[in-house]
Structure 1
Amino acid sequence: MVNIRVMSTADYDAVLELMQDTPGISLRDADSREATERYLARNPGMSFVAQDSGRLIACVMCGHDGRRGYLQHLLVLPAYRRQGIAQALVQRCLTELEQLGIHKCHLDVFKTNTDAARYWQGQGWTLRTDIDRYSFTRAGNENA
């Protein structure tokens, strides 16, 4: 039986392993243990993991800036896909955001990750074509 619960810092190693084993996911310095701990502390109770028989099988990270929500790293092991786990994880995040009065959420998908693009569009998310995202990274932190 799959159990969904709030992600904790103790889940870091298992989440990192999921990320490393999932095609289309890119790990950066921002995914370090320290950065993940800061993210979870800043956004308490908003990121979730799913377990089956004690084994971590899925995760999603969620945060906000006070106005908009952001999802990162929605991952479900291939053997558990198409069972509604991803949808349940996302719904938990959106519910937490709504309880804070945040009704709009964004996420990023690499242009090369066509499976993720199909998934999100199939879930009713809209591909934005009216904006471009720009990033700035301090010298020496190109992987942030």
Structure 2
Amino acid sequence: MQYRSMTIEDYDAAIQLWQDTAGVRLRDADSKEGIARYLDRNPGLSRVAVDGGHMVGTVMAGHDGKRGYIQHLAVADDYRRRGVASRLVADCLEALRQAGIIKSHVMILRTNALGESFWNSLGWQRRSDVELFSFINGGGENV
């Protein structure tokens, strides 16, 4: 298994993995151009797991200079429960720590029970003191 930084050349395989993974919702911002901007703005923070040339895991990470954000964690069904997701998250958190970011957030869909269980198992805690509001600048669906 090879773990490395995600590049835009990984886009097609990542999109396919995200589409195949329950609990991952894609939006317009997940276009190839959107992901390229994200990777350029956050170099070396997003990670992939590759086995025999086949992408089996992804996670994206970035920060705003103060807080880290993790999204699109996905592992192929045949590779679950092997530590792939935990390794991807640990690698992202280490890269964020090296960038001076010590607190990170992850947002999961309320219907993603598997995701909730995974993040709980890593010691992440649900926040009940904040609500998330979103707005799409320039139109589109505000969800």
Same fold flag (TM > 0.5): yes
1:69-88 aligned within 5 A: 69-88=68-87
Matched, 1:38 2:30: no
Amino acid at match of 1:49: V
Question: 1:103: which partner in 2?
Answer: 102
Question: 2:111: which partner in 1?
Answer: 112
1:83-94 aligned within 5 A: 83-94=82-93
Aligned mates of 2:4, 2:63 — CA distance in 1: 19
19-28 or 9-18, which deviates more: 19-28
Aligned mates of 1:143, 1:74 — CA distance in 2: 22
Deviation at 1:102, TM superposition (A): 0.8
Question: 1:47: which partner in 2?
Answer: 46
Aligned mates of 2:142, 2:135 — CA distance in 1: 11
- Measured against aligned partners, the alpha-carbon deviations of 1:30-60 in whole angstroms (never above 9, x if no partner) come to 1000000000000000001000001000000
- TM-score w.r.t. the length of structure 2 is 0.96
| Aligned pairs, number | 143
Deviation at 1:143, TM superposition (A): 6.4
Deviation at 1:121, TM superposition (A): 0.7
**After TM superposition, which residue ranges in structure 1, 4 or more long, deviate above 4 angstroms?**
none
**RMSD (Å), alpha carbons:** 1.2
Deviation at 1:139, TM superposition (A): 5.1
1:116-131 aligned within 5 A: 116-131=115-130
SS of equivalent residue, structure 1 residue 66: coil
- TM-score w.r.t. the length of structure 1 is 0.96
Preserved contact between residue 134 and residue 142 of structure 2 (Cα < 8 Å): no
Gaps of 5+ in 2: none
Gaps of 5+ in 1: none
Question: 2:134: which partner in 1?
Answer: 135
What fraction of aligned residue pairs are identical, expressed as a percent? 49
SS of equivalent residue, structure 1 residue 35: helix
Preserved contact between residue 47 and residue 59 of structure 2 (Cα < 8 Å): yes
Question: 2:17: which partner in 1?
Answer: 18
